[in-house]
């Protein structure tokens, strides 16, 4: 009877530890962005697949926001599909992760729009090139015709393709890399069986 009770206790402990481990290693990705003119943002595990919708908008004067969970041990791609209605196009944003379990392409937990860490395509989720900040010769947050977008970090740059006046569609991508290894479910099972085995031997000796 004591052995059966001990097995139940150990089993409960294993599942509790596993649950706490997963909670502790969950990251939250947040973003703030303005896009001239319309956009949809997605989270994907494949750079050539659009992914799950996070947020969309059609008014560049409004700073749109989103928040989503990242699974520990999983790499992601943040995708932003943008469309311009004519003349000047631009994408401005800042993004952050609340733990050290994931990092952006720059190796940090915060990423701004820039011409180093973002890729862009004009044909879809493929054929990427580095995003451009050559817009109007400079692209800082505050430049006309948009002015300062207070909902986005002041150090962010407006980015687009190299032809921001003529390319009406742009597909932006940046990587989010998992930096914390997660034990496989089999590892937790083996640990649990080992604990139960030790408990069984102890109670047999006491019997």
Residue by residue, DSSP assigns 79-137 as: EEEEE--SS--EEEEEEEESSSSEEETTSSSEEE--SSS-EEESSSSSS-EE-B--GGG
Considering the domain architecture, whether residues 32 and 81 belong to the same structural domain is answered as yes
104 and 16 co-located in one domain: no
39 in the same domain as 118: yes
Same domain, 14 and 67: no
95 and 170: one domain?
yes
Q: Tell me how far CA of residue 35 lies from CA of 102, 143, 191, in angstroms.
A: 25, 14, 50
Helix (H) or strand (E) holding 172: strand 169-178
Confidence of residue 138 (pLDDT cuts 50, 70, 90): confident
* Residues 32 and 73 both lie in one domain: yes
For the chain, the domain total comes to: 2
Range of the domain at 86: 27-178
**DSSP 3-state of 195:** helix
Residues 62 and 156 in one domain: yes
Q: Find the range with the poorest average confidence among 104-108, 132-136, 169-173, 195-199.
A: 195-199
The whole model's pTM is what? 0.78
Q: Is the pLDDT confidence value at 82 over 90?
A: yes
112 & 17 share domain: no
Per-residue pLDDT tens digits for 183-197: 555 544 555 555 555
121 shares a domain with 82: yes
108 with 127, same domain: the answer is yes
């Amino acid at each position: 009877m004591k052995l059966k009770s001990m097995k139940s206790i150990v089993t409960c402990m294993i599942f509790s530890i596993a649950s706490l481990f997963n909670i502790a290693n969950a990251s939250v990705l947040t973003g703030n962005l303005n896009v001239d003119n319309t956009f949809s943002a997605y989270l994907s595990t494949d750079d050539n697949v659009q992914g799950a919708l996070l947020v969309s908008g059609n008014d560049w004067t409004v700073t749109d926001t989103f928040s989503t969970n990242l699974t520990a041990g999983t790499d992601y791609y943040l995708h932003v599909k943008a469309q311009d209605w004519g003349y000047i196009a631009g994408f401005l944003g800042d993004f952050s992760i609340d733990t050290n379990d994931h990092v952006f392409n720059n190796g940090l937990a915060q990423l701004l729009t820039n011409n180093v860490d973002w890729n862009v395509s004009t044909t879809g989720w493929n054929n990427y090139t580095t995003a451009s900040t050559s817009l109007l010769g400079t692209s800082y947050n505050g430049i006309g015709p948009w002015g300062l977008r207070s909902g986005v970090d002041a150090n962010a740059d407006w980015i687009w393709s190299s032809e921001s006046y003529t390319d009406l569609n742009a597909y932006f991508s940046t990587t989010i890399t998992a930096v914390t290894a997660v034990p496989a479910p089999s590892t937790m099972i083996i640990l649990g069986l080992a604990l139960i085995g030790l408990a069984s031997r102890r109670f047999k000796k006491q019997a």
